[in-house]
Structure 1
Amino acid sequence: MMILIRAFERPELVEILLKQFAEMSAVILRTPAHPMSRIFAALRRLEPCQFEEVALKAWHCMNDVFQRVLGPSHLSTLTSKLDRLGTATSKLDAENPDGHPEIILNSGREESGSDALRSIALLQGLGTYFVNRKRYAELQEIGSEIVNRITNWDPGDPEGTRLYRCGFDFMATAQFALRQYEQAMSSFELLVDLATADLGWEHSQTWEYQAKFEECLRKTGSHVE
């Protein structure tokens, strides 16, 4: 998936890649029940001119899917973020395939819940990826997006509380790394309250948020009241 994304605006590269996938169909076709079996078989029957048309349509379809799943915000249109995502994917560790965005985006809890939950699961996957890659500007955007997505969530739903805390965790982590200590202090203060209510004061995660909050206080020259 990310290889195709990096081939954006190069339809000839997309065409070549899809042809390579089609040539792999011999293996897939040995398993008729495989969901890709019919697709590969159809690709092999296409003429070159037809194949290019299919490749372009497939590319536009991919963009439409990302647009629909990620929603109408700053992460919704994949093409508007190619510069940032391209920078991130160019630094992928080839020895760590579990870190690849295409794997992360299709993992987790995508198979359960509503479209909104699947959308948040995608953002969580991207957030974890950017944490590991120290891409803090993108991480802050994703945290904010998750928080915005669950503003109408039922306050009594523990899943909503967990996701709300996840969004602010991403934001606070990014703000602290970017030395935005006043903003990070507010975020960690809220995280202390959320974690205390959700996990209890004695939980290690609550203590960690409290320690970060106090560190932000020191860095901003404030004093604990």
Structure 2
Amino acid sequence: MAESPVSVPDYICCRTPPPSAPSNEEDHEMIIERSLSNQGTEWSDAPEFILDRGENQWTRIHLMLNHPSIHRPPAPPAVLRIPEQLFHNINSYYASSLHDGSWITRNRDGATVCKVDNLYDPDQRNELQGHFSMAGNLKARGSLIEFRRVLSKAFRLVHSIIERSHPRTLDRLFSSLLWLVHSGLIEVALLFRDYIRSLSMSLTSTQQSWGSIFLLLGNLEEASLEQALIKAWQCNNDALDRGLDPFSDSGLLTRLNHIHHVHETYDGQEAERLLWIIHGEYERTSDKAATQIPTIMLSLGHSMLAQGKYEETENMGLEILSRARDEPRISLNLRVDAMVLTARAQYYQGKNDTAESSLREAIRTLTDRWGDTCSLATRYVNLLESWLREWDRDEDAEELKRVADLAIGLDETDMERIGQRD
């Protein structure tokens, strides 16, 4: 029996069920071929593709990639062309969806047009990335049950993110995948990749560019995943730049996110240099500088923090908060992010009391607005718990752990085990 190419530990198996795949006899490689060759605009209610039959998915992929005699055409396999087709579909999608700063959404009932910055964002608070980050922290501390539960919460967000197209959808998915790869959570990254592919079959038309993007993204090979994601993300940003207004909020956030997850990973000084260039451009030219400059300052603060410039980071966070007091249009999310940035900088400088105070203020601001189960607040409660344990304040840390566990809740695995006991 062939072994799976990736050993997925039980503790990271997300039990959020993927959508049902239609039953069909087509080979997985035939699925890719059909999606690449059919870029029509007709919607069909009939199921188009199948991921796998009842057999083990990992085993099947292993057989397909390592045994050329099994359903292999003499030409190079389609999987080798996936990155290029992904880039092509990204460009095609934005070319048809963006016009003069407006976003065109097409469905079976027609099309709607909306200014990009007025679009509803299904992940406005960046909860997907936040859940993955929190899960990574939990795993590093050995809290594997909580790690699994938070991963399940992250996976459950993907349905609404893919279902409702938005200029930042791919930005969110690329950043989350890259973060998982860069954080050494490759098993989770591959599960996430496969889940995206599974959802694409149910939620989108894979004969159109939007659906093909997710199908192709879900079929990127592990060996080339990181570089393909980086190139696809740059392709995404270039396409957005061509279709968005020069100083669109969505365009700015995408550029900042790309610098943070790509440039900062390899060269912190280069990332900071690029951010200062953007800061200068927007300060000179943007008519929304009052709200956009603090956003750029936050990214600069994160870049400084990553380089160990803790005092400069703290000053940057405090400056953002000072501006926020005078500018009511600065969002609550940005204010909270500045509080957390300041707290982290204070923590690294050994200013324990002020760091705790700053982080508690951020948590209180979030729970006052969205309640005790706010996922972002839970993430920071978890962070503060880790600080308190480091400071030998285990009793206070246990109190915060109870708060976080209640907010995280149970996942499908927990409910299944409860059902088995009953």
TM-score range, shorter-chain basis?
A: 0.3 to 0.5
TM-score (norm 1): 0.47
TM-score (norm 2): 0.27
